[in-house]
Structure 1
Amino acid sequence: MTQLPRLLLSRDHLVHGIALKELARRAKAGGLYRVRQGVYVDGAAWAALKPWEQYRVRVSAAAETSHARTIFARHSAASVWGIPTIGLHHPVQAVTLENDGGRSRAGITRHYADPASLKIYRWEGVLVTGRVRTVLDLAAFTPFVEAIAPLDHVLKADRKRGLPAITKEALLAEADGIYTAAAIKRIQAAVDFADPLSGSAGESYSRALMHAAGFEAPVLQREFRDQAGLVGYSDFYWKGVRVAGEFDGIDKYLKSEFLKGRTAAQAVVDEKLREDRIRATGCGVVRWVWAELMAPGGLERKLAAAGVPRRRPRGAS
């Protein structure tokens, strides 16, 4: 987990021996970055963060400057729990216990939650909705294709944070009595589709986009072997056309748990050799990256060109 930069609060300027005008001057010069009114971080440290890490800092900054007790929810709670979400530029989100339709103030979007059904947790010093409620809210109030990555994530144990896996049964049991009938249907569809075999948020989003585009469901984590032994596991595999699909996330070339002592250049070479061995078994390979996932129709065009089949209409079964 990336160490997030320390927040510099303007209300503590006397403690740090910095005048308010000096904070503003440093921010204007780029030495500091103003996260929100009254909160700054080191400019270089901010620039080095991934977008989702910057969002997590925004949540912490909102928590530090809120005058009232604030319970973060939806994308904001997910960022605190380390649950991946899809998309950028989400607002900071929290719940309100007053049934006035929800409102936004001080840069925080608020959504009503019935106090009787709300379980509140303190995680990393921040008040948040629980993991179950967080992913259920995302399934209920975000598009289907964006709801799958959070659900896939919590179906597996989060060993980095010491958090257990959550079963589909537990998810659906907690949804009962909280949401409208329409929201329950959206939750049910997303939970039914979720799969703990998904290896990353990118793989989850890919699978959801495949489903939405009408492609045949792939086998996940398919094992490949040749005369030399185990080649590896493909992210996706379509048996009927013998095509393997690979989401090429950048993590495998940067993070130590994927590199396993190799350099990034060695990891690239190893991945190319692995793909060559898969192709040598008579199987085609199609690859894509985040940019193609985020471009409308990008993945659909890639899979169609590779010959990935569409689902049969019900009447043709």
Structure 2
Amino acid sequence: MSTNLNLAPVPEVLTHRTSARRPDESDVIRRRAAAGELTRVARGLYAESAGWAALRSSEQHLVRVRSFADRIQDGDLVSHVSAAVVFGVPLLTPPPTRVHVTSTGADRRTTNATFVVHADLDPEWNRPVVTTSDGLLLCGLERLATDLALTLPFADAVVALDALLCRAVERELVRAAVARRGQKGRRRALRVVEFADAASGSPGESYARARFDQFGTPAPVLQHRFRSAGEPDIVVDFWFPESGVVVEFDGSVKYQRSEYLHGRTPQEALVDEKLREDRLRAFPEVRRMLRLTWSDLLNEWVLRAKLRQAGVRMSR
């Protein structure tokens, strides 16, 4: 069972809560919200507008989860997409405004302005429970993978499960847990579990692979190594040996974040990438190279056209 429980850092944004016990203070909060200084982020919860606007959607959801920890009923576990956000698991679709929890040991389903409460459909899968330093109770990573496979659309679930497999989640445990659930969503969930691959290098690569599957391409080789004597190996995101096509996903972070730059300037990184591409094109088995961005992945017709032009076969 996975023990890779690194949690996402809590964003630094100042929040304020209204309360019937503090009417004067609550009136001040509402006036500041009316003036645009504060943003209402949930019922009774406001954040400093400038700080809130600077947060990514996952960070905003994390603030909601942490802010309402004291409203979660005893024994309930933060679960589903909310647990994914706390664990720092990537999500393709921005998380909702409501916090998702599972009511352990009970068949209780509730939706209100703050929470979506899921019934406990697999009581034997409640352990181990993860407790954060500030007392937040979370489902474990295998339980999280199971819930996401059963509730998210295929591509969204692939993005999340690829990342979870990278964190040592055991595929067999998730497969068995999915099989124990009811019929609803089980076939699609089992397909997600089989399709997920820890070799995926990023959420963008995971989504690209789901799109390739949607179009019926041959299954690409992930992280394929091209080797030549006296030169460092070149590892590519996707290799389609049948058509001789290398596909690389170019997220903008590759030329912006320090962990990708390795001490280089963005300009130096671009030059290195050009030299790497020249070396790749020199391999006789490489006929074409295709670079994809998030914009390409999100536009079905553009993506199909680029794959077709590169010579990648599609059956759907």
TM-score (norm 1): 0.82
Contact 2:13 2:52 in 1 (8 A): no
Letter in 1 for 2:281: R
Contact 1:13/1:19 (<8 A) preserved: no
Matched, 1:149 2:151: no
Q: Match of 1:249? A: 251
Counterpart for residue 121 of structure 1: 130
2:290 aligned counterpart, secondary structure: strand
CA shift at 1:99, angstroms?
Answer: 2.5
SS at match of 2:235: strand
Quickly say closer, same or farther: Cα 1:29–1:258, change in 2 above 3 A. farther
Q: Is the 8 A contact 2:159 2:207 kept in 1?
A: yes
* Counterpart check, 1:300 vs 2:310: no
Q: How does 1:215-254 map to 2 (within 5 A)?
A: 215-225=217-227, 229-230=231-232, 232-254=234-256
User: 3-state SS of the aligned residue for 2:166?
Assistant: coil
Q: Does 1:68 align with 2:78?
A: no
Residue 8 of structure 2 is aligned to residue 8 of structure 1: no
Task: Give 1:145's aligned amino acid.
Answer: A
Amino acid at match of 2:225: E
Relative distance call for 1:280 and 1:49 in structure 2 (3 A) is farther
Q: Distance in 1 between matches of 2:313 and 2:83?
A: 38
Say if 1:54 and 1:291 are closer, same or farther in 2 by CA, change over 3 A: farther
Deviations 1:33-82 (A, max 9, x none): 33213323333322222222222223223335x26344222111111111
Which residue of the partner structure matches residue 144 of structure 2?
Answer: 134
* Structure 2 residue 103 is the aligned partner of structure 1 residue 99: no
Residues 1:112 and 2:119 aligned together: yes
2:165 and 2:85 map into 1 onto residues whose CA distance is: 17
Measured after TM superposition, the shift of residue 197 of structure 1 is 0.7
Distance of 2:311 and 2:20 partners within structure 1: 61
- Shift, 1:225, TM fit: 4.0
> Structure 1 stretch 264-273 or stretch 185-194: which is displaced more?
264-273
Residue range with higher mean Cα deviation, 69-78 or 114-123: 114-123
- Preserved contact between residue 148 and residue 205 of structure 1 (Cα < 8 Å): yes
Identity between Structure 1 and Structure 2 (%): 35
**Offset of residue 238 of structure 1:** 0.7
Tell me by how many angstroms 1:127 deviates: 2.1
**Structure-1 separation of matches of 2:103 and 2:55:** 30
Gaps of 5+ in 2: 1-7
Q: 1:214 aligns with which of 175, 194, 216?
A: 216
Question: 2: distance between equivalents of 1:223 and 1:57?
Answer: 41
Partner of 2:193: 191
1:175 equivalenced with 2:175 (yes/no): no
Q: Do the aligned partners of 1:154 and 1:166 also contact (CA within 8 Å) in 2?
A: yes
Aligned with residue 23 of structure 1, among 29, 33, 42:
29
146-155 or 289-298, larger mean C-alpha shift: 289-298
1:77 is the counterpart of 2:83: yes
Higher mean C-alpha deviation, range 288-297 or range 229-238:
288-297
2:19, 2:110 → 1: CA distance? 29
**Structure-2 residue corresponding to 1:41:** 47
Q: Report the alpha carbon displacement of residue 12 of structure 1 after superposing the two structures with TM.
A: 8.4
CA distance in structure 2 between the partners assigned to 1:231 and 1:59 by the alignment? 44
Q: Which runs of 5+ in 1 are unaligned?
A: 158-164
Q: 1 CA distance for matches of 2:148 and 2:282? A: 42
1:153 shift after superposition:
1.2
Alignment check: 8 A CA contact 2:18 2:25 kept: no
Cα pair 1:249 1:289 within 8 Å, conserved: yes
**Distance 1:302-1:195 versus aligned 2 partners, 3 A rule:** same
Compute the displacement of 1:226 (Å).
5.1
CA shift for structure 1 position 10: 2.3
TM-score (norm 2): 0.82
- Cα separation, partners in 2 of 1:268 and 1:60, compared to 1, 3 Å: farther
8 Å contact from structure 1 (residues 145, 212) kept in 2: no
The answer to which of 185-194 and 275-284 deviates more is 275-284
Instruction: Check 1:295–1:95 CA distance in 2 against 1; reply closer, same or farther (3 A cut).
Output: farther
Q: CA deviation at 1:235?
A: 0.3
- In structure 2, C-alpha distance between the alignment counterparts of 1:83 and 1:273, rounded to whole Å: 33
1:13: how far off? 12
SS in 2 for 1:185: helix
Paired with 1:262 and 1:2, the residues of 2 have a C-alpha distance of 26
Report if the CA contact (8 A) 1:30-1:43 is conserved. Answer: yes
